[in-house]
Every structure is written in C-alpha cells, then in structure tokens.
Amino acid sequence: MALLIGRFVNKIDAKGRISVPKAFRDSLSVQNSDFAGVYAFPHFKAAAIELCGESFMQQLTDRIDNLDMFSDARDDLTSILLESAHPLPFDPEGRITLPKELISHAHLDKEALIVGRSKSFLIWEPTLYKEHRALAFERARTTGATLKLRTPQEVAP
C-alpha cells in the first residue's frame, strides 16, 4: 500500500471542485475495491476536512463498532465520522466536489492545501494550516516528542 504523503496546493472552483493529487488517487485506487473516490468528513480537532479511501473508512467503522454500545464515545465518534461522512466519487479529471458544509467547516475559499497523513489526507485553508503546523512543531519540541520504531515482529498482523 502506497502512503499518502506530502503537501499540494490546489484551486477550488466555483462549484466546489478540487483536484486530488494523482499520487493520492493512484494510491487510493489500489486500496479501494469498488468505490472510485474518497470519503470526506469534518476533522474534529481542527478546521480541516479529512479524506480517506474505502479500506481506511472500513477500519474506522470497525473501531467504532468495537466501542461499548450506547457509550458517549461511540455516539460522538459515530456522529463525527459516520453521520457526517460524504462519499465523493472522482470525476474523469480526478476532481471531487466538496459539500458546502465541509467547505464551511474548513473555511475554504478559492485555494486549499492538501496534506498527506499516511492512510488519509487533510484539506486545509493554507493560512490555518500554517498556524496549525507552527503549533504542532512547538508542541513536539516542548514535549520532546519521539517515536519508538517497532520491530518487524510487532508490525506483523
């Protein structure tokens, strides 16, 4: 599975259409079985839109299904991720049409920054992303964030 990484600036047209980078479309076409497109939902920690392929959306759904029935966490995540999700098919030019509610949530206008996040990607208003990224860098420096690399045995399913 290819990774969704990097940053791309793309225009949003008057109809709310934005082109998904070809590298992302190619990666998602390998991941998806029947659906040629992405699932989009509001990122609940920031004014951004999160998008993913069908296989990752299924993983999210499976994780939510593992939560206790009627728990606040399950209800909240169901509302945020599933009830607010939109399946967005690719058009022949590789564009998707963003719903108005998601455009509003992310404060998007005519330009957007697409940011890869491994199995998903985010669409940001460029200035808001710049502020978010600066805060993330500062938090990482302040907390001394590190990564422990897993051994091959830990990675195996």
Instruction: State pTM to two decimals.
Output: 0.89
CA distance 128 to 48: 9
Ordered per-residue pLDDT tens for the chain, 157 residues: 568 999 999 999 999 999 999 999 988 876 556 788 999 999 989 999 999 999 999 999 999 999 999 999 999 999 989 999 999 999 999 999 999 999 999 999 999 999 999 999 999 999 999 999 999 999 999 999 998 888 777 766 5
Q: What is the pLDDT of residue 31?
A: 59
Are residues 105 and 3 in contact, defined by beta-carbon separation less than 8 angstroms? no
Write out the H or E segment, with its range, that includes residue 85: none
Are residues 106 and 47 in contact, defined by beta-carbon separation less than 8 angstroms? yes
Q: What is the pLDDT of residue 33?
A: 60
